[in-house]
Structure 1
Amino acid sequence: MCLDKKIIQSVKEDLKLIVVNQKALVYLTMYLDKKITQSVKECNTTKDLWDALVEKIEGNLDMRESRKEMLNGEFNMFNDIQGESIESIIDSFEALNTNMRSVGIICEVGEINKKLLNSIPYTWNGNVTT
């Protein structure tokens, strides 16, 4: 009798999880664009939907690796543009650093500081601040 209660309790918990998953799936698909919804309609769980969306947005493994290489190249080639303000340089650098972190490229603080300091113009130009 005790075993039956445990089995029934386990089945009830499983059913609750299924209902929660289905509700989450409905809510997520409800807010997606129709074009995206059509391409992910075969997803039966929120995990499947999430994985499909990540692949659709971020691309497959080759595309992600290509993006990492591109961001590494941008970081290595980062430099100031003639006449660009210090604020603009810092904003561009922060955006690049954020994009790098979003794909899993983590640089050491010293390397980041060195790159930023080297990208700032060596000579002060009064026109840059105005």
Structure 2
Amino acid sequence: DEYFRVSNCKSAKDMWDTLQVTHEGTTNFKRSRINTLTHEYELFRMKTNESIQDMQKRFTHIVNNLVALGRIFPNEDLINKVLRCLSRE
């Protein structure tokens, strides 16, 4: 698959740009994805009848996707966010 994506490229830079867009997405797509995930992060709450393990999995998934896109969170912020999101039940 990779070969066919770059086989018509004229230079190494064209190949690199093609592969970068293929695997990372365009700048606009990345910005949109960061905005969506940040919104999910900000609104994150524990669901009714959700276990702590399931909540942690959802939270980790959001944070890991943001980190992969270059958004880094201090550990203290993550801990405080999780503590604020816990259900009172």
Tell me by how many angstroms 1:113 deviates: 0.8
Deviates more, 1:103-112 or 1:53-62: 53-62
Runs (4+) of structure 1 moved beyond 4 Å? none
Please provide the CA RMSD for this pair. 1.9
Q: Which residues of 2 match residues 42-61 of structure 1 at below 5 A?
A: 42-43=8-9, 44-45=11-12, 48-61=14-27
Identity of aligned residues (%): 27
Tell me by how many angstroms 1:49 deviates: 3.4
Matched, 1:121 2:87: yes
Which of 23, 47, 55 is 1:81 aligned to?
47
- Stretches of structure 2 that go unaligned for 5 or more consecutive residues are none
Tell me by how many angstroms 1:48 deviates: 4.6
Report the TM-score when normalising by structure 2. Answer: 0.82
Q: Aligned equivalents of 1:69 and 1:104: distance in 2?
A: 12
Which protein shows a greater Rg?
Answer: 1
Q: Aligned equivalents of 2:17 and 2:81: distance in 1?
A: 35
Report the TM-score when normalising by structure 1. Answer: 0.59
Q: Aligned equivalents of 2:14 and 2:83: distance in 1?
A: 44
